[in-house]
């Protein structure tokens, strides 16, 4: 329905204006309550206004960093004809036609007769499509045009002259309503994002190892933000690629099969880009990822948008987590900030559980070492005890040897005494043989041999006596050495006992680290 219409169907009578602007504004304010972000707010603004006034076409243009105006959204039955007139690539110079004029002036531009659109090709195309009027309104904030709303109507609007200022006032109220709704939506999203981060933190706190931490991170992030599918990719240092590790949710069997078989080099695909950027990467339309092997499967499965962030451990990227939606989404600054917080939380939790796992491994290794040391210590104690026992036995043997040496010494003394007496008898026999003359010559020879034998016996006895003295001295030395060795082994026993106490303490510490 047009902004102003004739009260009578008689074309010969002058039209009587029945305003529809207030009703249109009320409808817009109600419709804007459904906006969740700026993109949806512009769409609702265009659609609600076009529906309220019966416009055949509506569009929203936003200025870009390239000093061009870019088409944010359009709808209507003559969209094809209007695009053919200009802006078919989705952009316009800031001085082009009615859109450029409204953007530069900051004032609504109204055309009540399409033949007046001499400088606007889009307006001319709308006229050829049967449009009777055009209203192009800038959206002004803080004295600067932040958008342009373009409408074409098949019916006259009658808003030239004083009515233009009223339209501008309504546009300002509509913008204020849009801004308020966006601010409220942003606050809601901030609250939702904080709640999502809290739920992720709670879930991660329940993980006890790296695998459960990754699984809980995938599940909690995907659920908290309402996404369809998530997966974790780990860097294979030897191959220099990201390889699939875990998944959560579902985006169709075909998409899953492609995911399980895929690998990504640094900079390739969504995960590879996050790896290279070392930061969050968002892609609103996965069709834009021409280097992603999952792209075609994603399109067939209805997967639309994707977000990915790297996982770090001690400052080094070890993998990435990506998530996908089945509808197009926008990533607000609040949501991006929340996801970066999630990235840090997941990375920190992984560091904690991996450190705990490493500590447990070290504890098990320490406990194993302690067990081996304890076994070796027990063996050393047993050997020492055996050595003490053998040393004691050797001491007794040496003492017995000493006693036997003393006994032998006594026998040697007797033999020596006998040798002396034999030598004396031989001397007497020699003297008697000499007195006997020729008759005693044979006795003299025997006496000489006996004398020589007694002398040799005395010499041998002397040598044996000397050797026995040496044996006795060695026995005393050996006995003293064995005694010293026994005392040293006793000291080793004391040291071994202290070592066993230390090993016991280490075993308790290692067992505590495993808990």
Which position has the higher pLDDT, 446 or 35? 35
Closest CA to 398 of 475, 467, 471: 475
End-to-end CA distance of the chain: 75
**Tens digits of residue pLDDT in 324-357:** 998 888 888 888 888 888 888 888 888 887 776 6
**Tens digits of residue pLDDT in 475-501:** 677 767 666 766 666 666 666 676 667
Tokens of 199: 């739920």
Of the pLDDT bands very low, low, confident and very high (cuts 50, 70, 90), residue 365 is: low
Is 120 within 8 Å of 94 (Cβ atoms)? no
Average pLDDT over residues 206-228: 85
**Tens digits of residue pLDDT in 263-304:** 999 999 899 999 999 999 999 888 888 887 787 888 888 888
Q: Give the single-character DSSP code of 245.
A: E
Say what angle helices 38-53 and 162-205 make with each other, to 10 degrees: 140
- The phi and psi torsions of 78 (rounded to 5 degrees) equal -110, 20
Which secondary structure element, helix H or strand E, spans residue 10, and what is its range?
Answer: none
Closest CA to 364 of 208, 210, 500, 514: 514
The whole model's pTM is what?
0.56
CA distance 507 to 366: 8
**Tens digits of residue pLDDT in 73-132:** 999 999 999 998 888 888 999 888 999 999 999 999 999 888 888 889 999 999 999 999
Is the torsion defined by CA of 181, 186, 187, 193 positive or negative?
A: positive
CA distances from 160 to 3, 109, 110, 361, 513 (A): 12, 9, 7, 82, 83
Is 121 within 8 Å of 88 (Cβ atoms)? no
Residues of the chain with pLDDT > 70: what percent?
Answer: 77
Show the domains of the chain with their CATH numbers.
21-188 (3.30.450.40), 228-331 (3.30.450.40), 359-514 (1.10.287.950)
CA distance 447 to 445: 5
Closest CA to 27 of 53, 63, 59, 65: 53
């Amino acid at each position: 329905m047009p902004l102003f219409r004739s009260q009578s169907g008689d074309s010969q009578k002058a039209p009587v204006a029945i305003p529809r602007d207030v009703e249109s504004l009320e409808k817009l304010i109600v419709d804007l309550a459904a906006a969740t972000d700026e993109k949806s707010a512009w769409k609702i603004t265009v659609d609600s206004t076009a529906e309220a006034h019966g416009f055949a076409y509506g569009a929203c243009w936003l200025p870009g960093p390239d000093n061009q105006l870019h088409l944010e959204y359009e709808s209507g039955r003559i969209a094809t004809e209007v695009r053919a007139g200009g802006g078919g690539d989705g952009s316009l110079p800031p001085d082009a036609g009615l859109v450029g004029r409204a953007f530069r002036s900051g004032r609504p531009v109204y055309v009540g007769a399409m033949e007046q659109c001499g400088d606007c090709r889009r307006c001319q195309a709308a006229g050829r499509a049967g449009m009777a009027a055009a209203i192009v309104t800038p959206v002004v904030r803080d004295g600067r045009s932040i958008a342009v709303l373009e409408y074409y109507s098949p019916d006259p609007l009658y808003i030239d002259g004083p009515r233009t200022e009223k339209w501008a006032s309504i546009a300002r109220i509509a913008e204020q309503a849009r801004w308020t709704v966006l601010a409220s939506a942003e606050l809601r999203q901030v609250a939702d994002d904080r709640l999502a981060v809290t739920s992720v933190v709670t879930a991660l706190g329940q993980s006890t190892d790296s695998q459960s931490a990754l699984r809980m991170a995938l599940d909690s992030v995907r659920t908290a933000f309402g996404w369809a599918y998530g997966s974790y990719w780990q860097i294979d240092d030897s191959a220099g690629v990201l390889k699939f590790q875990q998944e959560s949710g579902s985006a169709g069997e075909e998409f899953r099969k492609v995911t399980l078989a895929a690998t990504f080099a640094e900079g390739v695909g969504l995960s590879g880009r996050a790896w290279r950027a070392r930061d969050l990467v968002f892609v609103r339309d996965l069709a834009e990822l021409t280097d992603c092997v999952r792209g075609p499967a994603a399109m067939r499965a209805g997967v639309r948008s994707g977000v990915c962030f790297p996982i770090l451990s001690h400052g080094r990227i070890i993998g990435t987590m990506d998530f996908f939606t089945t509808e197009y989404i926008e990533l607000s600054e609040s949501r991006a900030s929340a996801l970066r917080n999630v990235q840090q939380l997941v990375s920190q939790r992984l560091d904690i559980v991996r450190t705990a796992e490493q500590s447990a491994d070290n504890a098990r290794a320490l406990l194993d070492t302690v067990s081996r040391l304890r076994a070796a210590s027990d063996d050393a104690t047993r050997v020492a005890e055996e050595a003490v026992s053998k040393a004691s036995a050797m001491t007794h043997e040496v003492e017995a040897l000493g006693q036997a040496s003393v006994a032998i010494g006594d026998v040697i003394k007797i033999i020596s005494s006998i040798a002396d007496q034999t030598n004396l008898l031989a001397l007497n026999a020699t003297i008697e043989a000499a007195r006997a003359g020729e008759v005693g010559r044979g006795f003299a020879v025997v006496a000489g041999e006996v004398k020589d034998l007694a002398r040799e016996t005395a010499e041998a006895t002397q040598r044996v006596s000397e050797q026995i003295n040496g044996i006795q001295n060695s026995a005393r030395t050996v006995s003293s050495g064995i005694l010293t060795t026994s005392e040293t082994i006793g000291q080793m026993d004391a040291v071994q006992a202290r070592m066993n106490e230390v090993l016991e303490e280490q075993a308790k510490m290692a067992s505590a680290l495993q808990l």
